[in-house]
Amino acid sequence: MLKISALNQFYGSSHTLRDVSLNVADGACTVVLGRNGVGKTTLLKCLVGLLPVKAGEIVLAGQPLTRTAPHRRVLAGLGYVPQGRDIFPLLSVEENLRIGAYAGERNQTRQGKQFSFDDVFHTFPVLKTMRRRIAGNLSGGQQQQLAIGRALLTNPKLLILDEPTEGIQPSIVMEIEAVIRSLKGSLSILLVEQFFDFAQAVADDYVVLVRGQVVSTGRGDQMEANNVKSLISV
Ligand SMILES: Nc1ncnc2c1ncn2[C@@H]1O[C@H](COP(=O)(O)OP(=O)(O)O)[C@@H](O)[C@H]1O
Ligand SMILES: [Mg+2]
């Protein structure tokens, strides 16, 4: 579904991503692990087009996206849940979701699962209860669910999540884990995560970054044997 090849990125003279390559198989979940500051968010910003790529290629379902504008990448099937969620705090829950649905309705290349408001409310019942509330007043976990719901309504081929468990209460972490498991198959997932147990529970494949470089890859069930924990613990 997704092929990232030899991606390089710089902030000024600092070489932040070095020849990063990774794949996400159809209907599968690839997890990117790494300590703070190794370049995980930078990688996702390059993928969604918020940072121009200096060198390398990004191909989604056979379609080159390396130099495509961010809003066109959404229409091509990239659904992004940014780190820190970035919901619109002054809009209601429903208005936030409508922004995702606006893109979803225009997503001409969509295929596979189509998401409706009812699907999102079924997946995250709390969003239905709180649909008229101002999104900025929700708890961190509820805002994370809102950000995922908003991304699902764009009808993505690939759902991209940047540390969805960060600062969130354990019960909601478990709910998000169950949602990711249930979504696999109907769409593909690229998950950035530092929480080893959560990553292991959902990963079909994994990639570990250290200082902008891929240092370990494998199947999710090899994470323990390949000592991934030692590469990500602080
Ligand atoms: N806008 C920026 N300008 C300059 N340096 C940045 C910027 N954003 C991130 N960095 C630096 O790039 C490195 C990678 O950051 P980031 O991709 O956010 O890491 P991660 O998501 O793995 O914690 C860090 O050293 C960070 O300080
Ligand atoms: Mg980050």
Determine the straight-line distance between the first and last CA of the chain, rounded to whole angstroms: 32
Residues 206, 30 contacting (CB under 8 angstroms): yes
Q: Give the pLDDT band of residue 79 (cuts 50, 70, 90).
A: very high
CATH superfamily of the domain spanning 2-232: P-loop containing nucleotide triphosphate hydrolases (3.40.50.300)
- Measured between alpha carbons, how far is residue 108 from residues 24, 59, 89, 104 in Å? 22, 18, 29, 9
Residues 140, 127 contacting (CB under 8 angstroms): no
Domain boundaries, the chain: 2-232
Minimum-distance ligand 1 atom for the alpha carbon of 35: 22
Share of the chain above pLDDT 70, in %: 97
40 lines ligand 1 (CB under 6 A): yes
pLDDT of residue 160: 98
Choose the residue to mutate in 16, 40, 163, 193 for probing ligand 1, maximizing ligand atoms within 8 Å of C-beta: 16
| β-bridge pairing 29-33 and 188-193 | parallel
102-160 residue pLDDT tens: 888 877 555 667 899 999 999 999 999 999 999 999 999 999 999 999 999 999 999 99
Query: What is the C-alpha separation between 229 and 195, in angstroms, rounded?
Result: 9
pLDDT of residue 38: 97
Whole-model pTM: value is: 0.95
- Measured between alpha carbons, how far is residue 81 from residues 30, 144, 162, 163 in Å? 15, 8, 6, 9
Q: Give the pLDDT band of residue 233 (cuts 50, 70, 90).
A: confident
pLDDT of residue 25: 98
Query: What is the C-alpha separation between 93 and 131, in angstroms, rounded?
Result: 5
Share of the chain above pLDDT 90, in %: 93
150-189 residue pLDDT tens: 999 999 999 999 999 999 999 999 999 999 999 999 999 9
Residues 104, 110 contacting (CB under 8 angstroms): yes
Minimum-distance ligand 1 atom for the alpha carbon of 34: 22
